[in-house]
Amino acid sequence: MDKFRMIFQFFQTNQESFMNGICGIMALASTQMYSAFDFNCPCLPHYNLAYGLGILLVPPFILFLLGFVLNNNISMLAEEWRRPQGQRGKDPTVLRYMFCSMAQRAMIAPVVWVSVTLLDGKCITCAFCTSVPVETLGNASHPHLSQGEIQRVLARIPCKEIYNGQQLIANEVAIRYLRCISQALGWCFVLLMTTLAFLVRSLRPCFSQAAFLKSRYWSHYIDIERKLFDETCAEHAKSFAKVCIQQFFEGMSTDLVAARCHLPRKAPADAGEAAEKLLGITDQGTMNMVLKSWHRCKPPLHLHPPALPTGNGWAGEGQPPTHLSAPRRERAAYYSWV
């Protein structure tokens, strides 16, 4: 149990670790789904290809979209891409990095599905059973069979219980032939994906390490900024609700006192603290304007120190004073009349 707790805490360290954990769980789920899937080939000439390729390609596409849906950054990417220019520019490299990062993680489960499907061989056997070379593996000179009848016989190869073409080609020979081809394609696909992942991981820092670090930093900044903004809005909403409820009960107590119902009245200790957290935004329309302003014109990414006013009214214009006057010392003199 402690190991699972440590793994869960590691997944919660940052957004990337969390998404890597989600993608790993999806990859394991894809293998479990395929093992629990009841594969039934239709064994018809015009439906085998569609069914086999559909099982091979449609679930990976669904898993790919599901990987995007489970990724929290997809809404952040869409928001950053569609928002107005405002006071902050949009960096295409950061958006490209975010999209590529999500796409790489979303591809893990589809790659596992395709690899397992090809190594198993059922889909390829069902899809291409009518393409078995009868001239090489069987008896192509079988009498009283037209080309259409041969296709119908070959389409029943995945269905051993209804296959009746042993004189044309043995069922075990055809299945073994197609399964060997499927496994060869599966291992080639695994090797190709592993090589691509290795090249992306190893060669990318060699060419654009500075641009990669910049894009990664600002993508993390956008994620953290969004989380902090949501937390600030939630804290403001909590304080706003607390002040509204307190004012409601205070008004109700005033009405009860006016109706000659003497009730003990005690000022809430946290009323002033909740009011301070409102930051002067105490109206629904004002809060809506703040939210719209945040979306339309986010503040520029430029931090500057606050202005230091002086005695002559300087408020940040021009150069700040080079030195500050030393504090005045007050001296007290005592006179005694003796």
pLDDT in tens, 103-147: 888 888 899 999 999 999 999 999 999 888 888 887 766 657 778
| C-beta separation of 117 from 39 below 8 A | no
| C-beta separation of 223 from 102 below 8 A | no
Looking at per-residue pLDDT, the higher value among 312 and 27 belongs to 27
| Structural tokens at position 105 | 């993680």
Q: In whole angstroms, give the CA distance from residue 282 to residue 264.
A: 28
The distance of Cα 286 from the centroid of its chain, to the nearest Å, equals 32
User: What pLDDT score was predicted for residue 333?
Assistant: 43
Confidence band (pLDDT; 50, 70, 90) for 189? very high
Q: In whole angstroms, give the CA distance from residue 18 to residue 197.
A: 20
Mean pLDDT for the chain? 79
Lowest mean pLDDT across 104-108, 115-119, 249-253, 302-306:
302-306
Confidence band (pLDDT; 50, 70, 90) for 97? confident
Confidence band (pLDDT; 50, 70, 90) for 35? confident
Burial label, 74 (beta-carbon count in 10 A; 0-12, 13-18, 19+)? middle
pLDDT of 14 strictly over 70: no
**pTM recorded for the entire structure:** 0.71
Q: In whole angstroms, give the CA distance from residue 220 to residue 323.
A: 39
How many residues comprise the chain?
338
Looking at per-residue pLDDT, the higher value among 263 and 118 belongs to 118
Looking at per-residue pLDDT, the higher value among 237 and 204 belongs to 237
| Structural tokens at position 329 | 């010392």
- What mean pLDDT do residues 269-286 have? 74
User: What pLDDT score was predicted for residue 326?
Assistant: 45
| C-beta separation of 16 from 22 below 8 A | no
Q: In whole angstroms, give the CA distance from residue 288 to residue 19.
A: 32
H/E stretch holding 91 reads none
Burial label, 43 (beta-carbon count in 10 A; 0-12, 13-18, 19+)? buried
User: What pLDDT score was predicted for residue 22?
Assistant: 72
| Structural tokens at position 262 | 């003497």
- What mean pLDDT do residues 35-42 have? 86
Confidence band (pLDDT; 50, 70, 90) for 310? low
Looking at per-residue pLDDT, the higher value among 250 and 287 belongs to 287
What type of residue is 336?
Answer: S
- How far are the Cα atoms of 26, 193, 196 from residue 112, in angstroms, in the given order? 9, 10, 15
Looking at per-residue pLDDT, the higher value among 138 and 17 belongs to 138
